[in-house]
Amino acid sequence: MRMTIIEAIQNAHDLAMARDDKVVVFGEDVGFFGGVFRCTAGLQEKYGPSRCFDTPISELGIVGSAIGMAAYGLKPVVEIQFADYVYPAYDQIVSEAARLRHRSGGDFTCPLVIRMPSGGGIYGGQTHSQSPESLFTHVAGLKTVMPSNPRDAKGLLLAAIEDPDPVIFLEPKRLYNGPFDGHHDRPIVPWKKHDLGDVAKNYYTTPLGKAEIVRAGSKVTILTYGTMVHVAQAGANEAGIDAEIIDLRTLIPLDTETIEASVKKTGRCVIVHEATKTCGFGAELSALVQSSCFFYLEAPVTRVTGWDTPYPHAQEWDYFPGPARVAQNLKKVMEV
């Protein structure tokens, strides 16, 4: 059936809660209102306020409570209203959730999912547009996921809920209501439906740690995830270059096998992500490609990213990579 990412995430919650009464869903405005983006709409009405409920405005309290619940057998799925709000809870995530299995010698686990709308594209300004994925990929004990389409949003979320360890689930809000017009740097109104994605109605999981080749090619490999999957496709079309585009889907664990096979085939690699460049996840990808594929490379690994500045509201559509910037860098790499 046809769904937006919002509908796919809501459907995943519904199926998980129906399947396992240990799954609980909570966060700010998550219960009665159904979430600020409506990803939990109808869940409280269907499953009751003991399984889907609202919390105070305290990210530290939300995550701290969820860790305790997870340690004692529940499967909490919590929503941080915007990824920008997660910082008060960062100590709980890093010091408690990520380390619980190891510091207890396996006596306790933390089957916790922390969902967060991430990235820009909706004119949210500095406090509603950040892309903090590298803050989590650096932390041993966490898995970090970012889907680019409704099918994967549902399957990856169900896989994350099944996982016995904590999963950071980042949702590109620019794609919430359908793919944007990737051939033009036009914003999408977040509450207006666009083209939908095909999503199976049944319960299914998409394996964590497995990338997808969304476009086969032979000249250059593009490594990307989330919103930038669509930007990369538009950029490759604009450049007229036979690029192989890999949607990583899961950043940690990372599908190194698919990455290495592609770069060894093409001999070139361009990395595209929305977050700032310095110490972004692209730096880790670049190091991986350089160390694993050095003797196959015909050009330096190139990164196309957001600026190394605080998020600029007025210049939002210049800040993150668009098709023109991707196309420019693809042409440059091919000239080497």
Q: Confidence class of residue 189 from pLDDT cuts 50, 70 and 90?
A: very low
Length of the chain: 336
Answer whether 2-198 and 212-335 agree in fold: yes
Domain ranges of the chain: 2-198, 212-335
CB 218 within 8 A of CB 265: yes
**Residue 182: its pLDDT value, please?**
45
pLDDT at 60 over 70: yes
Q: Which residues are catalytic?
A: 128
Q: Which residue has the higher pLDDT, 122 or 276?
A: 276
Q: What is the pLDDT of residues 239-262, one digit of tens each?
A: 999 999 999 999 999 999 999 999
Q: What is the pLDDT of residues 82-139, one digit of tens each?
A: 999 999 999 999 999 999 999 999 999 999 999 999 999 887 888 899 999 999 999 9
Distances (CA, A) of 225 to 13, 123, 246: 23, 21, 8
Torsion of CA 26, 28, 34, 36, to 10 degrees: -140
**In this structure, which topology does domain 2-198 adopt according to CATH?**
Rossmann fold (3.40.50)
* For residue 111, cis peptide bond before it (omega within 30 degrees of 0): no
Give residue for tokens 């590298």. 134
202 closest CA partner among 10, 7, 12, 73: 12
CA distance 245 to 224: 8
What's the mean per-residue pLDDT of the chain? 93
Q: Are strands 212-215 and 243-247 parallel, antiparallel or unpaired?
A: antiparallel
Distances (CA, A) of 159 to 70, 154, 169, 203: 16, 9, 11, 10
In terms of average pLDDT, the best of 117-121, 176-180, 311-315 is: 117-121
pLDDT at 188 over 50: no
Distances (CA, A) of 312 to 39, 128, 180, 315: 27, 11, 21, 5
Q: What is the pLDDT of residues 210-235, one digit of tens each?
A: 999 999 999 999 999 999 999 999 99
Q: 56-65, 106-115, 177-186, 224-233 — which is least confidently predicted?
A: 177-186
Domain boundaries 212-335, CATH class = alpha beta
Q: Confidence class of residue 196 from pLDDT cuts 50, 70 and 90?
A: low
